[in-house]
Structure 1
């Protein structure tokens, strides 16, 4: 027991070294490992010993109850730890951040996934069809100015390749004063989200379409019941839009949060040096950033809002490109892509594959099928080699950043020495 306790103390002392996780995560994982490993094993061995000795008292040398007791004790311990772990994490490790972290942990249970949304909307459409005696219905969401079909039900459901732009034009052209619109054999019901600033100008979230007979008309009772179903469908689309905004924010925050955690972890041992020095991003993150920036090489939010803009090589290139961050980053990407290019005249051979993929797919903006056909490979093989090419560009940019930081830090050191000598 003493040796085990000392080992645990030693493990706790070194568990934080070089780890970018928050302290609460390290403590929680270490404690959970101790409970699931040594503690569970000790309990199982203790139960086995007790059962065996009780059997010996009654003259039973070996009993099938020994392995049974061991298995049951392990299962009970693991199940108990699973149930109790959230409680001890909340009260022991979360501290003053208990409310925020509990909210984040419960987010998984509260999220509406695509499957949950589809299931809920299918139930609403079933109620709408039953109420109006309609053979089919659909719900489409408005994303970026275009309608995308979320769910369709019925005997003759609307096909996913159906052109919904006409339906959107019908609704937009009719103004906001109508409760329903006619589009071919369908009624269209706008799904609105009341604006936070002006409820007289609702925001269109999507459309609910219901198939109708040529001579069918809505009566007052049907409208009243249908209004409630439409409001619930609109609420589901509103939650979907809010969640998409949350996910986008989390994706934008992830690189910065990881970098802050790394600074915090290193700063525990050498705060001055670590906080003053520029920290290089992990190569895995850099590869994702490079791929996103190359995707919008000729313009787009993935280029203009890229985390790569914070690199020293990009900041140093601002002056050369009229203080345009996008142009500076584009020039760095171009330089890195050119570094992948083999020497000599461009060819379509094996050694040129990585460069040709980068040039044709991102710089020239050709379609995947066209690039695969030109390079005589399958699309799956193209994606694999594209990943290798992007990782090579990321490696080159990382090396360029290292060299630039060495150069900048060297100049700052020389400047400090000259000022000190003066």
Structure 2
């Protein structure tokens, strides 16, 4: 391959990467910052760049000037609206600094109108441009009689935009904002450089030196791409009330999952076409292999390159981010805890040759079963746990079980217990004592870690809720009572499904209930804990009197709710314990949720009546 052809191929890859970058950045701004007028102005600039580079990419595959002319004319959509987009963006920047001007807004609208007129003239007439031609591999149009007027419009619009952005910079009072405005002012020239049709002025001068021409085009495109990223990065900080770290982290994630990934795929496909030609193999044969290899290799590549991006954008926060990542890796969820304790209980049952055992933990709401094998009643668990309250070591024999207390490492607070039914055969417990002691210690440590995490997560949930309220605009209160809303039962179902935490619990409309607001007074102002307490109270109101029975019809709804949502057991396990089919269990679950919703509605109505009657009851007769 001669040097000129190599330069052209390199330019093809660069143009493809720029097309991907402009589209990705456009989607990024619209997805995250659509409410910002500055971001919308920058988005129009990216539309301009995307349109022009889409045409440039297509021209690499066009063989004759006649076909190229259609695409060259379509490119004028991006060329014609660029000055208007500059005016749009810089007017928004000036408004951020308190400079409001109605005539400037009308000028922006007029600029868009002129841009549309210019595009239509270029598309349907020869007044602005005419006669597509090819000089070597470079296609271009010739300037028409109205092109000088368009040149005045283009240069005037871009110059006005650049003057406005420097005016906005001078009006900025905060040094940090002024620095970012400087970045924006410098990088904003990129779209104008990228979309302007230079060959209409240069004619055949530059294409007469093809190596120099394609080298300059490639170098300028690389600079333009870099400046586009800088421009969008600066715009991302405007009108956004989130920490810098969040913006930078979002930026890194989007870069790696969007433009970097897409460019990686383009490079693989480009190399694949060359490899197919060299090896003489059909592209259809190499494509599946290359796709699989690209997916796997990009996972490794992104892990390798992420630290560089984090150093580039988050160098001051790298150590804290690493600590947060380590904390995330060591977090233990409710499901993790249950599976871990089930594993320990299974090992103990196998070692002691017993098919029955359970693990319980102590919670503010009483004893909570965590893992169990075999049929075990709640009363047996409570009685067994009461035996070990004054003991520090096990096993303790109680009601046919060997019981080991689970205590915290520091102050030996009782956290729960592991119990295994005594087998009928002979088992030499002394030989297994050290092994079992190690298992019990690990179970106690897991319980203690989970309790500490629950406290931390509870505090974090409260902070997250406050931050969410700060970031979201206040909504007008609805006149319809929540309990009469058609979605009330669905909200109850979502809250029960996320009883132990989750984003839907943080966003649950049930947090607005009067009974939840009242419960916050006894739960340190934590709305999540208050909602959990209210849900638990509603479930407890469905509990029948007398001793609990798993298969009794009157206990069915309570047992189902307690096992499914409080204990978090699997559907199959609950169905087996309640002697139901899974389909029947789902029907009963709907009925149970509706029952909880009815109880909550009645609790809310009672609270409303009490608040209305309270003031009047204190009035003198």
Same fold, TM exceeding 0.5? yes
The answer to whether the 8 Å contact 1:122/1:151 transfers is yes
Unaligned runs of 5+ in 2: 1-220, 478-503, 531-536, 544-556, 558-589, 602-621
The answer to whether the 8 Å contact 1:296/1:302 transfers is no
Q: 1:257–1:113: structure 2 CA closer, same or farther, 3 Å change rule?
A: same
Distance 1:119 1:193 in 2: 20
Distance 2:262 2:593 in 1: 47
1:191 and 2:406 aligned? yes
Distance 2:393 2:272 in 1: 77
Q: Secondary structure at the match of 2:238?
A: coil
**Is the radius of gyration larger for structure 1 or structure 2?**
2
Q: 1:85–1:18: structure 2 CA closer, same or farther, 3 Å change rule?
A: farther
Deviation at 1:89, TM superposition (A): 4.7
Q: Secondary structure at the match of 2:376?
A: coil
What TM-score does the superposition give when structure 2 sets the normalisation length? 0.40
1:233-248 alignment runs, 5 A limit = 233-248=443-458
Distance 2:513 2:522 in 1: 5
Deviation at 1:16, TM superposition (A): 2.0
Q: 1:103–1:205: structure 2 CA closer, same or farther, 3 Å change rule?
A: same
Give CA-to-partner distance per residue, 1:172-213, whole Å, 9 cap, x none.
Answer: 3xx3366343322212221111444xxxxx200111111115
What residue is the counterpart of 1:211 in the other structure? 421
Deviation at 1:143, TM superposition (A): 1.1
Give CA-to-partner distance per residue, 1:12-58, whole Å, 9 cap, x none.
Answer: 22112233433233234334434444444445445544554576678
Distance 1:167 1:47 in 2: 64
1:110 and 2:330 aligned? yes
Deviation at 1:146, TM superposition (A): 1.9
1:124-139 alignment runs, 5 A limit = 124-139=344-359
Deviation at 1:11, TM superposition (A): 1.7
Q: Secondary structure at the match of 1:141?
A: strand
Distance 2:505 2:335 in 1: 29
Give the aligned length.
Answer: 304
Correspondent of 2:384 among 167, 181, 190: 167
Give CA-to-partner distance per residue, 1:244-275, whole Å, 9 cap, x none.
Answer: 22221221221344567x59xxxxxxxxxxxx
What TM-score does the superposition give when structure 1 sets the normalisation length? 0.56
1:11-410 alignment runs, 5 A limit = 11-49=232-270, 51-52=272-273, 63-64=283-284, 67=287, 71=291, 74-75=294-295, 78-84=298-304, 86-144=306-364, 146-153=366-373, 157-159=374-376, 161-172=378-389, 175-176=390-391, 179-196=394-411, 202-213=412-423, 220-258=430-468, 262=471, 280=474, 288=508, 291=511, 294-296=514-516, 298-301=518-521, 305-306=525-526
What residue is the counterpart of 1:374 in the other structure? none
Q: Secondary structure at the match of 1:96?
A: coil
Q: 1:204–1:218: structure 2 CA closer, same or farther, 3 Å change rule?
A: farther
Distance 2:301 2:598 in 1: 45
Q: Which has the higher contact order (CA 8 A, sep 6+)?
A: 1
Superposed CA RMSD: 4.7
Distance 2:344 2:288 in 1: 50
Q: Secondary structure at the match of 1:8?
A: helix
